[in-house]
Amino acid sequence: MLSRLNGRLGFFIRNFGTASSKVSLPEKVRTLEKFAFKHFSHTINEVNGGLEDVLNKKVTLNGWINGSPRKMSKNLVFAAFRDFNGDFTQITAKGESVSQLLRTLKPEDALSVTGTVTVRKQKTDDQFKQWELVLEDLEVLNYSNEKASQLDSLKATPSQYPPEYRYLQLRQPFYQNALKMRSKAASIARSVFQSMNFTEIETPMLFKSTPEGAKEFLVPTRREGFFYALPQSPQQYKQILMASGFKGYYQIAKCFRDEDLRADRQPEFTQIDMEMSFAKSEDVQYVIQKLLTQIWNGVRHLPFYRIDPANEYAIVELKPGESFPKVNYMEALTSYGIDKPDLRATLSFKDISSFFGSQPLKRSDFPVIEACVLKNALNLVVKSPRNLFDKTNYSMRTPYIFKILCEDDLYRWFSKLPVDLVDADSASQLNRYLNLSVGDIVAVSDRSEIPYESPTPLGRFRQLAMQEYPTSWRRKVAGATEQPTQNDIFVASWLVNFPLFSPSEGDSIDGYPVYDFSNLESTHHPFTMVKLEDYDYLASNPLKAKGDHYDLVVNGVEVGGGSRRVHDAELQKFIFSNILKIDNYMGLFGHLLHALSSGCPPHAGLAIGFDRMCSMLLGSPTIRDVVAFPKTQAGTDPVVESPSTVPEKTLQTYHIGVKK
Ligand code: ASP
């Protein structure tokens, strides 16, 4: 590419470069010193740190004007100055020529400033510490356009920031910090893997179209009818690398999924991807815990917590050498209604089916009736719990939700359910069982015996309750004199024993999912190994088989997921053909099957959602804050305006026609 470009430049110079030109350079460019600028001698932070040494001495700083200059008089102009580390100081122009230049400058002009570090006389704020730079020389390295000045006032409100000016937004300390933190996390990850003798290996971006779960992005080629697909993850290549004899592989990998950009997803995202040969699940879990502990420690200097084994209402720091606790899928679903429970809150559910003589609320295939009580929710001095009752917050059926406003409500709330209590005595027994009292909110819903919904309606209710009342029902740190803030508490666990297969899901009816039990899908991906104790279920009753899969869940977020893999080609074929009914599995996955049948060792691995992990470390609700150039909800990149159309002629080379 470079040589081609040089070739073109050569052409340009030969034909135009030597001709005498009547045009002159634009004035601003002529007067700019940007091409031979004074390089910084210090950063602002260095001056802050060694003030005594540089006081009354000359230094040069490089950076930007932060906001408009304040013009005090003809010969006195102040401006806030920000350097490339996001630190601030004040620059002061006193002499006539520098004052005249400084007063004409706008926010975000890039400067090299030279002056004397002087003790500040008027310390009206402590933003600029104790010194200012009294200017002797001011070089404009580049002017910012009008837009940069106009946007200056929007710095603090990123949601209103026009996304096409992302680069200006990224200049702000918040984003500088976010991306630096991401870079640090990546570098810790690399050093942890390297220290354990893993090999960093890049796998192709131009992959093959294979059904792996999500929709793929296709890449046309000049060979008619042939396409690449962008990888949803390096899953198949990393398994092939295990057949290639590598003991440990890792990669910070770009992945692509052409999915609805609901919630907090991006069509391209990054994984810390890893795989180990001659390894079982526990080996992977050990490495990943070590990795996470070092990242958390290196980036936030914070430990991980777990539920206190001695008191379920408290959490304790994980001891050195202690593993992240394991939570069973069924326990997570029945207690918290989701396969990624946020264990910072105590809220859990109780099965109340027996109080109703085991009649279903509505449908016999959803026979379990369960309840979740928000103690004292009505007495909390917070805004009304609007969201809990808002149907639009529930994608399936909304739970029945009751406010216990007075003593009488205790004896009638259940009468609004479509089922009757077994007998009159059951009311007080039920209230006692739920420990229900005036001032509480109780939610009731149903679920299937093995819940494939995640979250269940009650699980969603629990999530909303935690959002609505962020500090209530939180587990306290046992024995702490001062409780850490919620953003500094990270409770981690391994979610295990997922069903290996799930029934495929059709359109829902009345808020109930409809399952086709004759058509099974992999709960994660088709390469997941069965738990050895359930091996026989593969032939007799695949729905009963648990997968050797593990999700790493931190504060209700699935930070990573992985599994032991099927390393035997015959077993993998059986799963493709007999269970998943994939007819042309040789065409789709022949490459993997051949690799497995070439003496591929047992292997296991995992991938961490790197963007999500970084936004969690940053304490930000959105991954957009840790992605330099995120796509919009419509999948566009407003900075470069992609995707874009291409000329008809280009399309023809790819044998593609666009319908007009
Ligand atoms: N490839 C999987 C994913 O992207 C992770 C894994 O099983 O290693 O979810």
List, for residues 365-394, the tens digit of each pLDDT value.
999 999 999 999 988 765 567 889 999 999
Mutate to test the pocket of ligand 1, among 235, 553, 559 (most ligand atoms within 8 A of CB): 235
Quick check: CB of 606 below 6 Å from ligand 1?
Answer: yes
Which pLDDT score, from 0 to 100, does residue 162 have? Answer: 86
Q: Which residue has the tokens 């003809």?
A: 74
Instruction: Find the 631 Cα to ligand 1 centroid distance in Å.
Output: 22
Rounded to 10 deg, the angle between the 173-195 and 610-618 helix axes is 120
Instruction: Find the 519 Cα to ligand 1 centroid distance in Å.
Output: 23
Mutate to test the pocket of ligand 1, among 230, 249, 268, 273 (most ligand atoms within 8 A of CB): 273
Quick check: CB of 251 below 6 Å from ligand 1?
Answer: no
Quick check: CB of 605 below 6 Å from ligand 1?
Answer: yes
Both structure tokens of 580: 């998943």
Instruction: Find the 352 Cα to ligand 1 centroid distance in Å.
Output: 37
In this predicted structure, the answer to whether residue 310 has a pLDDT above a threshold of 70 is yes
Give the position, in ligand 1's atom list, of the atom nearest the Cα of 273: 8
List, for residues 206-257, the tens digit of each pLDDT value.
999 987 667 899 999 999 999 999 999 999 999 999 999 999 999 999 999 9
Reported confidence tier of residue 260, pLDDT bands at 50, 70, 90 = confident
Q: Whose CA is nearest to atom 1 of ligand 1?
A: 235
Quick check: CB of 559 below 6 Å from ligand 1?
Answer: no
Quick check: CB of 239 below 6 Å from ligand 1?
Answer: no
Which pLDDT score, from 0 to 100, does residue 349 have? Answer: 97
How far is Cα 271 from Cα 399, in angstroms, rounded to an integer? 36
Secondary structure of residue 152 in the 3-state scheme = helix
Instruction: Find the 502 Cα to ligand 1 centroid distance in Å.
Output: 17
In this predicted structure, the answer to whether residue 480 has a pLDDT above a threshold of 80 is yes
Instruction: Find the 642 Cα to ligand 1 centroid distance in Å.
Output: 28
| Mean of pLDDT values over 78-84 | 94
Quick check: CB of 562 below 6 Å from ligand 1?
Answer: yes
How far is Cα 635 from Cα 633, in angstroms, rounded to an integer? 5
Give the position, in ligand 1's atom list, of the atom nearest the Cα of 565: 7
Instruction: Find the 256 Cα to ligand 1 centroid distance in Å.
Output: 13
Reported confidence tier of residue 5, pLDDT bands at 50, 70, 90 = very low
Reported confidence tier of residue 62, pLDDT bands at 50, 70, 90 = very high
HEC letters along 298-339: HHHCCCCEEECCCCCCEEEECCCCCCCCEEEHHHHHHHHCCC
Q: Whose CA is nearest to atom 7 of ligand 1?
A: 562
List, for residues 195-206, the tens digit of each pLDDT value.
999 999 999 999
List, for residues 502-554, the tens digit of each pLDDT value.
999 999 999 999 999 999 999 999 999 999 999 999 999 999 999 999 999 99
| Mean of pLDDT values over 269-275 | 98
Which pLDDT score, from 0 to 100, does residue 263 have? Answer: 63
Instruction: Find the 178 Cα to ligand 1 centroid distance in Å.
Output: 25
Nearest to 461 by CA among 327, 349, 568: 349
Instruction: Find the 508 Cα to ligand 1 centroid distance in Å.
Output: 28
Instruction: Find the 175 Cα to ligand 1 centroid distance in Å.
Output: 29
Quick check: CB of 69 below 6 Å from ligand 1?
Answer: no
Q: Whose CA is nearest to atom 4 of ligand 1?
A: 233
**Is residue 496 within 8 Å of 543, Cβ to Cβ?**
no
Reported confidence tier of residue 8, pLDDT bands at 50, 70, 90 = very low
Quick check: CB of 288 below 6 Å from ligand 1?
Answer: no
Question: Which pairs count as long-range contacts for 542-547, CB under 8 Å and 24+ apart, including other chains?
Answer: 542/500, 542/501, 542/579, 543/450, 543/499, 543/501, 543/503, 543/517, 545/499, 545/500, 545/501, 546/329, 546/497, 546/498, 546/499, 546/500, 547/497, 547/498, 547/499, 547/500, 547/523
**Is residue 108 within 8 Å of 152, Cβ to Cβ?**
yes
- Where do runs of H (alpha helix) occur along 50-172? 51-54, 96-104, 146-151, 166-169
Nearest to 445 by CA among 363, 386, 514: 363
Give the position, in ligand 1's atom list, of the atom nearest the Cα of 528: 7
Q: Which residue has the tokens 């304040």?
A: 70
Instruction: Find the 233 Cα to ligand 1 centroid distance in Å.
Output: 7
How far is Cα 169 from Cα 637, in angstroms, rounded to an integer? 15
Which pLDDT score, from 0 to 100, does residue 20 have? Answer: 55
Which pLDDT score, from 0 to 100, does residue 262 have? Answer: 67
Instruction: Find the 261 Cα to ligand 1 centroid distance in Å.
Output: 19
**Is residue 552 within 8 Å of 608, Cβ to Cβ?**
yes
List, for residues 622-635, the tens digit of each pLDDT value.
999 999 999 998 89
In this predicted structure, the answer to whether residue 15 has a pLDDT above a threshold of 60 is no
Q: Kindly list the distances between the CA atom of residue 584 and the CA atoms of 426, 517, 590, in Å, as whole numbers in the listed order.
A: 57, 22, 9
In this predicted structure, the answer to whether residue 177 has a pLDDT above a threshold of 70 is yes
